[in-house]
Amino acid sequence: MFEYIQDAHLQFTNAPTNRAATKGIVLHHRAGFGDVVSEHNDSLARGWIGIGYNLYVRQDGSIWYGRGLDAKGAHAGRTVKSSPNYAAAATNNSETIGIGFEGYYQSGSTLSGAMPKAQYDAGVKLIRDLLIAYPTVMFIKGHKEMPAVNTLCPGNAFPLTDMVKAAYAQDIPASTGGYAVKRYLYLTSPRFQGEDVSWLQTQLNANGASPALKVDCDYGSKTDMAVRVFQKNKGLTVDGIVGKNTVIALDGTWAKQ
C-alpha cells in the first residue's frame, strides 16, 4: 500500500520508539523548504534524535519516510516544560501520526504561497491510505488544533479543510445501496470526525432526529443520543455503536473489511 513512500535511510542518534496507539493524524507545514534530509539535519541541530515527522511530503508530490509509520513522533507537543499544559501537549505525539509538508503556508510572508497540486494530491492519497491502514484513527487535525499547543502551524494558507474532506471522501460503487461506511463510529474522546460522520448525521435527520442535528463531521453527544433513539425505534441493539446493522438500517453499505 505504501510502496510509493521513498526512504532516504536517515540515521538517528537513538532509535525511535513505537507509538502506544494511533488515534489521529496531525498535519504540519515545515515553514521552510528542502528535502527530508535537510529537515532531518535541522532537527539534529536542535538536539533531537532526528526528524520529528513520521512522513514528509515535498512540493513535487514525492513522499518520504521520516521516523516511520509506527514510530512515536516529535511533532505535536512543543510547549515549554514549565507550562502547566506541557504534559497534555507531550501526549499528542504518542497517539498520532505526524505528516510534515514542505513549504511555508502562513500568509504575510514573501515565502508563503498556494500549495502545489502535486503536493496536495499526494497528501490526500497518503491520508486516505493511512485511514485504511490504521482504522483506529478518529481525527485529522492541523497542528494548531491539537490540545495545549500554541502555534499557527500548518498556516492559514494551508488547504486544511479541503484536504481533510477530500481524504475522508469515498467513492461509492454503483452496485451498492448507499454510502459505504468503513469503520465503527461511536462517542469517544477524541471524537470521531469525517465525511462518514456527516453522512450519519444527514441520515439521522432524514429519519426524524429531534432536535435536528448539525451536520458538522463531528460525532458528539447529540449525535450519540440520536443514534440511540434511532436504534431503539428500529428494534436494534441500543449501544450507540454505528456498525453493520445500524448502517444498513440507515440505507448505507457496511464496507469495513
176-220, pLDDT tens digit by residue? 567 888 788 888 877 888 888 889 999 999 999 999 999 988 899
Comparing 193 with 236, the larger pLDDT belongs to 236
174 has a pLDDT exceeding 50:
no
pLDDT for 33 equals 96
pTM, 2 dp: 0.76
Q: Which amino acid is at 157?
A: A
Mean pLDDT score, 43-64: 97
CATH topology of domain 180-254: Muramoyl-pentapeptide Carboxypeptidase; domain 1 (1.10.101)
173 has a pLDDT exceeding 60:
no
The region of weakest confidence among 8-12, 43-47, 82-86, 142-146 is 82-86
CB atoms within 10 A of CB 237: 11
For the chain, domain boundaries: 24-168, 180-254
Q: Which amino acid is at 15?
A: A
Domain 24-168, CATH homologous superfamily name and number: Peptidoglycan recognition protein-like (3.40.80.10)
pLDDT for 171 equals 56
pLDDT for 196 equals 86
Q: Cell triple for residue 150? A: 500554541
